Amino acid sequence: MTEIKKIGVLTSGGDAPGMNAAIRAVVRTAIYHGLEVVGIMEGYSGLINNDFIEMHSHSVSNIIQRGGTILRTARCEEFKTKEGMKKAYQNLINANINALIVIGGDGTFRGAHTLYKRYNFPVIGLPGTIDNDLFGTDYTIGYDTALNTVIQAVDKIRDTADSHNRLFFVEVMGRDAGFIALNSGIACGAEAILIPETKTHVHDLINILDYEWRENKKSLIIIVAEGDDAGGAYSIAKKVKQEYSKYDTRVTVLGHIQRGGSPSCTDRVLASTLGFEAVKAAISGKTDIMIGEINKKIVFTPFENASKYNLKINKNMLDMARVLSL
Q: Which residues are catalytic?
A: 131
d(CA 18, CA 265): 9
Length of the chain: 326
Burial (0-12, 13-18, 19+ Cβ within 10 Å), 182: buried
The helix or strand, by DSSP H or E, that contains position 92, with its residue range, turns out to be helix 82-94
DSSP for 58-113 reads GGGTT-TT--S-TT-----SGGGSHHHHHHHHHHHHHTT--EEEEEE-HHHHHHHH
User: Can you give the C-alpha Rg of the chain in angstroms?
Assistant: 22
Q: Are strands 166-172 and 248-253 parallel, antiparallel or unpaired?
A: parallel
Residue-wise DSSP of 166-223: EEEEEEES-SS--HHHHHHHHHHT-SEEE-TTS---HHHHHHHHHHHHHTT---EEEE
